Structure 1
Amino acid sequence: MLLFGHLGITLGIFFGLSIFIPRLRTIINPVYLAIGALLPDFIDKPIGEVIFASTFANGRIIGHTLLFSLLLLLVGLYMYEKKRDVRVLSLVSGSFFHLFEDQMLSNTPTFFWPLFGWSFPRDTKDFTGFEHLFEMLKESFNLGFLQNYFAEILGLVVVIILAVYWLKKRSEENDTDDINESLD
């Protein structure tokens, strides 16, 4: 999954659940949830596929491990206990969603790292570094490639729906504020 898949599906699940569990809106910050949904890729893709591509040749390394998410959870629990700050817990929630959306449970050597050894599995791509970025750009115009990214399209639709909803709600709030100011 890429940007919109992780972002849209995670936010869609959160806002869907918050309809049935309204308390979620008070204990999860959607901005940090969105950042957390992308965090494993923000960490691993540049390191594993560009900067140290010849070493790792894999975009799923440290950030895609259960250990990373558990350590982040401990930091989040500490921050919540000390300051009642939900931002890191929201980040962790997004990061956990990311791992399940990437189906990391089926990639046990990475998911349970370092239990199965200190090295990460190498990807089977023949290209690394910036070649990978150019290959993805080139393939993005291939219809077969696009069909494999249904989650990306679904995520983009969810992001657009949420953006329209947010803009409409914000416009209504501004109209209410204008009416209240004119009454004063």
Structure 2
Amino acid sequence: MLLFGHIGITLGIAWLIESRLRIRMDYRLIAVGSLLPDMIDKPAGMLLLLLNNGRVFAHTLLFILTLHLIGLKYRGFLFLSFASFLHLIEDEMWNEPETLFWPLLGGFPARERVGFYEYVERIISEYTPSLSHVFILEVTGFIVILVLVMRRGSLFGARH
């Protein structure tokens, strides 16, 4: 899943929780947390560790637990933890147990290295409107963002 899927679906879940349980959400931190694992791991796993794997440290339960523990002292980190946990669910990380339960099951797996053009072709194929899994989630996330903006008057500002 990519940008709109992560942000939109996570914000939508946060909005449902806020409206049902009357828990005040910080949508700015929710939006950042929805992308936080990728913001950390894409550079770390692909560039620094040379694993060609964009799912390393921040795609682990240890990372989520760390954010949660910090959140016990600084409330904002609870929003980051919540949204980052949803990111892991949206990425179906249960299919990558070595990463999800790192370091309990060993190190991070290296992935096959592909050239730049192959990588771009894979991204484009994920966005091709063939009703692929990624395309459906991206459109859904975009629609959720539009609905939230229309209902709230603003996504991150004060409600109207």
Sort the TM-score into its range (normalised by shorter chain).
0.7 to 0.9
**RMSD of the alignment, in Å?**
2.6
1:8 — aligned with what? 8
Once the two structures are superposed, residues 54-94 of structure 1 have per-residue CA deviations (whole angstroms, 9 ceiling, x without a partner) of: x2111110110011111111111122xxxxxx211111111
Once the two structures are superposed, residues 137-169 of structure 1 have per-residue CA deviations (whole angstroms, 9 ceiling, x without a partner) of: 54356344x523211110111011112223279
- Paired residues of 2:126 and 2:132 also in contact (CA < 8 A): no
> How do 1:13-162 and structure 2 match up within 5 A?
13-22=13-22, 24-25=23-24, 28-49=25-46, 51-52=47-48, 55-79=50-74, 86-117=75-106, 119-124=107-112, 126-127=113-114, 130-131=116-117, 134-139=120-125, 142-144=128-130, 147-149=132-134, 150-162=136-148
Instruction: Report runs of 4+ in structure 1 exceeding 4 Å deviation.
Output: 130-133, 168-173
Aligned residues: 158
TM-score (norm 1): 0.75
Tell me: CA distance 1:66–1:137, structure 2 relative to 1, closer, same or farther (3 Å).
closer
**Counterpart code for 2:81:** V
Flag the structure with higher helix content.
Answer: 1
**Counterpart code for 1:109:** E
- Paired residues of 2:6 and 2:87 also in contact (CA < 8 A): yes
Matched position secondary structure for 1:120? coil
Tell me: CA distance 1:31–1:171, structure 2 relative to 1, closer, same or farther (3 Å).
closer
TM-score (norm 2): 0.85
How high is the sequence identity, in percent, across the aligned residues? Answer: 39
